[in-house]
Structure 1
């Protein structure tokens, strides 16, 4: 129920969707409603601010900086958990080849860690986030890609039922049954790490955060106007989704803190 509600909510409440809807309504209503033009102008100005100001980076930075980046040089872990979200399972199924998206570092970092720690179990968690046709699973594509990257089959384990981050944690815990004293790495995008860690901790798991896939520089360049307005719009959407997700997961008791910390 939570998954379906969140999908429908975001389809309507997505900031960019809302702004475009408001812009369209304002333009259509302008001839008969004097405030329609003002409404359209306001939506256009907000879109311009998002595209040409550092707003997106400033929203992402606190999320990405929450858990520090880690070197691969550390004591060998029991296993490495990689969360889904880096694959386009529908394109992979249609084209019959691996299809990575902009979060590809989740997959490449997982493979690199598996080669560095050959005794560690490499776990992928991700099914389908599709609301209607969920026949294509991320886990199937993940297996193919990791095989091609040279990860031994015996080192890999796949969870293919989860549809969101909460289910990632629930189903992964059931599958690996982590024991007290074991060290597990959690690999996901840096902006997604606070929510992911909050969920795993709420389920009495405390993995070591291994953030990857940074979208900000982490220095003064983040305060400059973006060079790519379309990318800034995309990053704003990512940041807004994550902040809203943090609030929603806290209100529904899926995390124990609004903004989990190290």
Structure 2
């Protein structure tokens, strides 16, 4: 990730400071350039929008929907909190989209997915609890409790939904990789991307759009993560 590379470059600049000052300076300059470039909204948005804009937001349709599939995110178990407060922001965004689409297609079943390695309750079960709390009948929700990543989710869910009409809900920056995994399993879902980092690339900008911003560093990190994930996916398909 960008911040890790910056830290490595800074460490190298310290190590080479006395014996090779020219290398130390290059490492320091490279760290500064990478940190600034990763934090500038104008650059970060261009990188992220190239990933997020592959699929449009889900629109109402007369086509029957059999399953609404919500890919796994993350939560932090704490029984002192309501279940909705235990979900992270990505999972909450997916939860809201599932509710929106289910309102449009009330006969559809919902599939929640995801393992959890620090909580006895799987993420799929935690999402189900939140959906039931918000009014979805529990008998309409199917949980896949064992997938540890998107590839496993596609492998386990595809046999259940093969030959049906499904809507796939995940974050916009994650959607291209998720769609490809399901397509590799012979399933053609309709994409329902949520949680767009870049809301409107063409909106009017002010001077702050060209000043480093910590939120945009996080955005660049997410884009970097997805790009690496897509590279790994591409390499796996070659083997």
**Normalising by structure 2, what TM-score?**
0.87
Residue of structure 1 in register with 2:36 after alignment: 48
Q: Distance in 2 between matches of 1:183 and 1:219?
A: 32
1:193 to 175, 178, 193: 175
- Any gaps of 5 or more consecutive residues in structure 2? none
Residue in 1 that maps onto 2:5 = 18
Residue 244 of structure 1 and its aligned partner are, at CA, apart by: 1.4
Q: Distance in 2 between matches of 1:28 and 1:48?
A: 23
Query: Quick one: structure 1 residues 240 and 153, their matched pair in 2 at CA, closer, same or farther if it must change by over 3 Å?
Result: same
Instruction: Give a deviation string over 1:17-55, Cα, whole Å, max 9, x none.
Output: 122222223134323431213212210221012112422
Please state how far the C-alpha of 1:210 moved relative to its aligned partner.
1.2
Counterparts of 2:149 and 2:210, CA distance in 1: 30
1:173 corresponds to which residue? 158
| 2:69 is aligned with 1:84 | no
Which ranges of structure 1 fall in alignment gaps of 5 or more residues?
1-13, 256-262
1:200-244 Cα distance to aligned partner (Å, 9 max, x none): 001001111111111112332498726771111111111111111
CA 1:187–1:44 in 2, change beyond 3 Å: closer, same or farther? same
The CA deviation string for residues 96-115 of structure 1, in whole angstroms up to 9 with x for no partner, is: 54323232211111122223
Distance 1:254 1:169, change over 3 A: farther
Report what 1:260 is aligned to: none
Counterpart for residue 232 of structure 2: 248
Q: 2:191 aligned with 1:203, yes or no?
A: no
Q: Determine if the alignment matches structure 1 residue 116 to structure 2 residue 104.
A: yes
Residue number in structure 2 paired with 1:7: none
Match of 2:48 among 42, 54, 60: 60
CA distance in 1 between counterparts of 2:68 and 2:131 reads 13
Q: TM-score with structure 1 length normalisation?
A: 0.80
Larger CA deviation: 28-37 vs 183-192: 28-37
- How many correspondences in the alignment? 233
Partner SS for 1:252? helix
Matched, 1:158 2:146: no
Q: CA RMSD in A?
A: 2.4
Inter-partner Cα distance in structure 2 for 1:152 and 1:102: 23
